[in-house]
Amino acid sequence: MKKVVIITGASQGIGAAVVLAYRALDYRVVATSRSIQPSTDPDILTVAGDIADPATAQRIIRDTLATFGRIDSLINNAGIFIAKPFTAYTQADYANVLAVNLHGFFYITQLAIAEMEKNHAGHIVNVTTSLADHAIDGVPSVLANLTKGGLNSATKSLAIEYAKRGIRVNAVSPGIIKTPMHGEETHAALGQLHPVGHMGEVSDIAQAIVYLETAGFVTGEILHVDGGQSAGH
């Protein structure tokens, strides 16, 4: 039977690339985001909804099991980034970032692991950010660090908790990636924030996730795909 992966934030950018990468591995894919459109591929199930809502997480898991009968992997890719000076963040900014980046991770991961435990097998990848390891002058990112840094730590904690139960948990920590979030006119300046001098591609992140998927001896790893940012400047 084909394996099944759930991918959040799957409608564009990194998430859309990860959907294609898993289909290339012949996985069945459950793709979810607020704006996801139905797919003509019978091996892709789309579920539209707000990942921060626990009811959405329950619906994703329920629909996955009803359609494909199993859950092998979960890619927590959904996330939002708001760059503002710390004192300029509003209560709404704070609530929105925590809702997507942390609540969105918590609800669906809890439900997915409960299913994975039944089969004594599973794999989770959390997409975080290299900013959690090193702040960049001129890129104010406290809310990203607060949430994605928390996910890095949770990745290790879950990896150890479930290591003997056949479930691996890893993270991919990107630098700044060319996605619809960043207009073409920003690419040159953003590229210079990386030691290699250019931004990353969505395929770089998808390849890293595929590596972790196939690396059975790797768990608790935070894989930096960041053009050298986390190594130094």
* Residue 28 belongs to domain with CATH number: 3.40.50.720
Residue 122, pLDDT score: 98
Residue 88, pLDDT score: 97
**Structural domain containing residue 65:** 4-224
Q: Is residue 188 part of a domain?
A: yes
Q: Is residue 207 part of a domain?
A: yes
Q: Is residue 120 part of a domain?
A: yes
Number of structural domains in the chain: 1
Q: Is residue 230 part of a domain?
A: no
pTM over 0.95: yes
Low-confidence ranges of the chain (pLDDT < 50): none
CA neighbours within 13 Å on the CB side: how many for 227?
18
Residue 179, pLDDT score: 86
Q: Is residue 231 part of a domain?
A: no
Q: Is residue 219 part of a domain?
A: yes
Q: Is residue 71 part of a domain?
A: yes
Residue 159, pLDDT score: 98
Residue 1, pLDDT score: 87
